Amino acid sequence: MHGWVDASFAVHPDYRSHTGAVLSLGKGGVISVSRKQRLNTKSSTEAEVVGVDDASSQILWTNYFIKAQGYQISETLVYQDNQSAILLEKNGKQSSGKRTRHMNIQYFFITDRIKRGEMTMKYCPASEMIGDHFTKPFQGVLFRRFRTIIMNVDETVPDADLAWERELVDTMPQECVGNNIALVSVTKLVVHGGTIYKIE
């Protein structure tokens, strides 16, 4: 089981960071997370640690659920692109310095899980961080590359051949949750942050 967790530091108007994560059981993403963090952080390292805390509950639950079904999971790897955050998550408060000393102990829940062997943190370069797809908009090659991995779509398929995505938007109703994007199938509108946009 592989998870990619990333955070974009202070990207919202109230300077809160944004967590993005995706979990894969082989090919394609089975669970994804994209949400505004609940608190303001003082650095990108702190935002990354909070991001792992946001995603770890879902990752651990999935791990427990699969094991309860009788399947074996050899390792649960969580990839991050911030080495300072990885050190803090592995060592807890022992790795704290002047800039991270203030961090709340609840964000070191992950340290206990790493020591128990339930998760392993591993460095992933930013150019390969799939979780980034859920924290900021991408265009061109990087968008297509991450889409291919997350959706398990053949890279050779041109965008025009993915008309089924458009059909899905037009036919499937989805619920609006908080400030997240919601698709309304009857009127073909997109609601984002309280503003309504018409799909052309």
At residue 119, the pLDDT reads: 92
pLDDT grade for 97, boundaries at 50, 70 and 90? low
At residue 184, the pLDDT reads: 41
Q: Which one, of 6, 31, 3, 178, lies nearest residue 81 by Cα?
A: 6
pLDDT, averaged across the chain: 79
pLDDT higher than 80, residue 64: yes
Q: Which one, of 165, 169, 133, 140, lies nearest residue 29 by Cα?
A: 133
More confident residue, 5 or 193: 5
Contacts of residue 39, defined as CB under 8 A and 6 or more positions apart, other chains included, come to 16, 50
pLDDT grade for 194, boundaries at 50, 70 and 90? low
At residue 190, the pLDDT reads: 52
Helices (H), 125-162: 140-151
- Digit-coded pLDDT (tens) for 108-164: 788 889 999 999 999 999 888 988 888 887 777 888 888 888 888 776 655 555 555
pLDDT higher than 60, residue 174: no
Contacts of residue 171, defined as CB under 8 A and 6 or more positions apart, other chains included, come to 185
At residue 134, the pLDDT reads: 87
